Amino acid sequence: MKQQGMTLIEIMFVLLLISILSGYAIPEYRNLKLNQSMTQHINQLIGGLNYARNQSIIRTEQIIVCPSNDLQNCSNDSNWHQGWMVFIDQNMDRVFNTGDEILTSENTMTSKLTATSSTYRKLIRYDRMGSSPGTNITITFCDSRGSEYAKAIVINNIGRPRVRQSGTCS
């Protein structure tokens, strides 16, 4: 007579194996989701920076990229995670005024992510040649995992953004 089904020992062994594998998989899945979210927001900002740089060359005008809380004005802080905007700076004063045209803007990033730049360089200016004169600007992306998982966008004087795999979270 053939036995059908599983014994209690076999069921307990399978449950033990599932629990051990789940213990390894769940934390890695969380890291995967957080990495994916950070990468998505970094790519969005890099896309906006490349768009602003291209527009400065095409239009031969000064273009500003700045953090914005309301997507209508530049904010006075360096918190890029609250949103950002790209505009044509008609009078070249680096401030959004009446007559300046907003080219694009981006909404708030996920609440689990922060993106901040130096308090001394809060905006990015692209001149008519696509350069970003002044000092390099770094926008650091952090989440709940801290500095070990931080990434940063560095925009050099030529105006090209690149991603750096480290940063300091505060």
Q: Is 8 helix (H, G, I), strand (E, B) or coil?
A: helix
What is the predicted pLDDT for the residue at 3?
A: 67
Phi, psi (deg, nearest 5) at residue 19: -65, -40
Task: List, for residues 110-137, the tens digit of each pLDDT value.
Answer: 878 999 998 888 899 999 999 999 889 9
What is the predicted pLDDT for the residue at 121?
A: 87
What is the predicted pLDDT for the residue at 1?
A: 61
What is the predicted pLDDT for the residue at 10?
A: 83
CA distance linking residue 158 with residue 133, whole number of Å: 7
Provide CATH code, domain 8-164. 3.55.40.10
What is the predicted pLDDT for the residue at 30?
A: 85
Q: State pTM to two decimals.
A: 0.83
Q: Please, what is the average pLDDT of the chain?
A: 90
Higher pLDDT: 2 or 145? It is: 145
Roughly how many angstroms between the first and final C-alpha of the chain, as a whole number? 69
What whole-number percentage of the chain has pLDDT above 70? 98
What lies within 8 Å, CB to CB, of 137 at 6+ separation is 117, 118, 121, 124, 154, 155
Task: List, for residues 9-51, the tens digit of each pLDDT value.
Answer: 888 888 888 888 787 777 788 889 999 999 999 999 999 999 9
- Does 170 score more than 80 pLDDT? no
Q: Are 166 and 156 in contact (CB under 8 A)?
A: no
The token pair at 163 is 């991603």
Output the CA torsion sign for 112, 45, 158, 127.
Answer: negative
